[in-house]
Amino acid sequence: MTAPSSLTTRPTIEGRKGSRRRRPANRGPARWILSAPLLVFLALFVAFPIVYGVQSALTSKTLLDPTPTWVGLGNFGAVLTDAGFWHSALFTLLYTVVVTGFELAFGFGLALLFDKDFPGKKFLLSAVILPIMIAPALMGIMFRLLLNSNIGLLPGFLHSIGVDVPLLGAGTVVPMLMGLDVLQWTPFTFLLFHAALQSVPGELHEAAQLDRANYPRFVVSILIPLMVPTIFIAGFLRAIDAFRTFDTINVLTSGGPGDNTTTLSIYIYKILSAGNFGTASAAALIVALIMLPLVPVVVRRITRGAV
């Protein structure tokens, strides 16, 4: 419950908060028993891997030399002085900013189009959000079909109007990858905006009409300010996911040509595939630390209304 709960303050929610305080407190054993599976799972798959990951980041464990030797912060130094790391960090940042921007703008525009009734609305809503359900790796393969110079629909169309560019070549591959991300995840921002717009009270439309505000004015002066919390959360969620993009790029270019499309995730994956576990863990830890400042902001918004 993100945007809707922030836009409509239903008195019942306050009432429930009251009833939450009446919660019986003498159920000690039951709550531990019910939480036991979760706690065991968290210990095994979160606490242990985090400790293990930090530990291996501090050692020189490789495929060829599997006995870990303590190297302290050496791996971190190796990553931070690697030009490839900074190159992929810059590319990841650029990728994140561009796709998030387009996805917010397109998602908002599409949500505005859906804000009135029209024939076939239900079916079109289903059709528009379809890509969210498609595995990004499979989406990547579909893009290969779409963009292949010999059999692809898009190059075929461009050829017929006299443009012959290899779409996955060095000059065009980055916009193509960004386009793929925008195509797949605009439906996600749309869905958040659509849900939020539905909870905007109709009186606001009427009031705006009485004041003779035209539609663009209404959107800019009333809707967008109301939607700011949703815009923020949608932007954060998309940025966090775009920042760790791996599937589509690995399927389409494996980070190439050269290092052109190497995101941080692919950079780490390359180190891991080469068998340098210590360096890979250190790089992963650095990326996780980069993300850390964003986490509390997003988490507080997301968990609101759940507990």
Partner 1 sequence: MSYPPVTLKRRKPNVWWRSVVIGLIALVINLPLVNALITSLKTDAAIGLSPFSFDGGLTLEHFTAILGGSGYNFLGFLANSAQISLGSVALIMVIAVPASYAIVRLGFGGSWLLQIITSLRLVPAMFFAIPFFLIFSSLGAYDTIVGLVLANAFINLPLALLIICGTLRELPVEIEEASTIDGAGPFRSLFSIVLPLLAPGLVAVGILVFVFSWSDYLFAVILSASNAVPVTVGAAFFVTSAGIAWGNLAAVTVVSVIIPLSFAFFAQRYLVRGLSAGAIK
Among positions 132-171, residues that touch partner 1 (CB under 8 A) are 132-139, 141-146, 148, 150-153, 155-157
Least distance to partner 1, CB of residue 137, Å: 4
Q: How far apart are CA 51 and CA 68, in angstroms?
A: 15
From the list 74-82, 126-134, 164-172, 218-226, the region that binds partner 1 by CB under 8 A is 126-134
Chain center to CA of 213: 36
Q: Are 132 and 214 in contact (CB under 8 A)?
A: no
Q: What is the spatial distance between Cα 95 and Cα 213, in angstroms, rounded to a whole number?
A: 37
Residue with smaller CB distance to partner 1, 76 or 243:
243
User: Could you give the string, one character per residue 81-100, with x where binding to partner 1 holds by CB under 8 A and - elsewhere?
Assistant: --------------------
Q: Which of 131, 178, 218, 222 binds partner 1 (CB under 8 A)?
A: 131
Per CB under 8 A, does 187 bind partner 1?
yes
**Binding to partner 1 in span 32-61, by CB under 8 A:** 32-35, 37-38, 41-42, 45-46, 48-50, 52-53, 56, 61
Nearest CB to partner 1, comparing residues 217 and 304: 304
**Minimum gap (Å) between residue 98 Cβ and partner 1:** 18
Residue with Cβ nearer partner 1 (128 or 222): 128
Closer CB to partner 1, residue 63 or residue 207? 63
Residues of span 248-287 touching partner 1 by CB under 8 A = 250-251, 264-265, 268-269, 272, 277, 280-281, 284-285, 287
Nearest to 176 by CA among 105, 253, 241, 91: 253
59 strand-pairing partners:
70
How many whole angstroms separate alpha carbon 267 and alpha carbon 259? Answer: 9
Q: How far is the CB of 302 from partner 1 (least distance, A)?
A: 6
Q: Please report whether residue 191 would count as binding partner 1 according to CB under 8 A.
A: yes
Do residues 155 and 94 make contact, with C-beta atoms less than 8 angstroms apart? no
Single out the segment in contact with partner 1 by CB under 8 A; choices: 93-101, 164-172, 182-190, 202-210: 182-190
118 is a contact residue toward partner 1 (CB under 8 A)? yes
Q: Is 241 in the site for partner 1 (CB under 8 A)?
A: yes
- Regarding 293 and contact with partner 1 (CB under 8 A), the answer is no
Q: Where are the alpha helices (DSSP H) in the chain?
A: 3-7, 11-21, 28-42, 48-57, 74-80, 83-113, 121-129, 136-147, 153-160, 173-198, 202-210, 215-218, 224-243, 247-252, 264-273, 277-291, 294-303
Shortest distance in whole angstroms from residue 92 CB to partner 1: 10
DSSP 156: H
Place of tokens 């798959």: 45
CB 136 within 8 A of CB 184: yes
